[in-house]
Amino acid sequence: MHPTIERMQEVVAKGDEALIHQLLAEDVQFLPPTYYSTWTGRAPVAAVLGHVGQVFSDFRYRRAMGDGKDWALEFQCKVGDLDGIGVDLVTLNDDGLIQVFEVVMRPYKTVGALRDAMMARVMTDARFLEFKNALS
């Protein structure tokens, strides 16, 4: 398994933004399961993933499938008292850093709870207003 993927499995569940930051390419793209939009850039993506790590509980990767630059990591988690299952689709760049990080997840009710919890957190994190303004 690629060392970045091994490290990712260790740090994503912790929600440690600084550790996540180290794994991301400067121009990383993050495609969340909660809406059809893309976050771009190391700082905003690390911040989003840091918050996700705090919203999920009982998070664990169940298996990893892939080779070279393309990986799929199946996970299970809870959002509040709701169970969730998902897959992180990860593409690494030539330097072995995460270039694209897309999350697909089910069931719908859990994704809705994740969206609500993330919106509440983002609204209280002043950095997200800066990120949004920088992306506009």
**Domains, the chain:** 3-127 (3.10.450.50)
Q: What is the identity of the amino acid at 36? A: Y
Whether 121 has a pLDDT exceeding 90, the answer reads: no
Q: Look up residue 74 and give its two tokens.
A: 């199946």
Whether 136 has a pLDDT exceeding 60, the answer reads: no
What was the pLDDT predicted at 134?
54
Whether 129 has a pLDDT exceeding 60, the answer reads: yes
What was the pLDDT predicted at 95?
97
Residues of the chain above pLDDT 90, percent:
65
Q: What average pLDDT does the chain have?
A: 90
Q: Mean pLDDT throughout 27-35?
A: 91
Q: Which of 103, 9, 108, 13 is nearest to 58 (CA)?
A: 13
The stretches of the chain forming alpha helices (DSSP H) are 3-11, 17-21, 42-55, 108-123, 127-135
Whether 39 has a pLDDT exceeding 70, the answer reads: yes
pLDDT, tens digit, for every residue of 50-66? 888 888 999 999 999 99
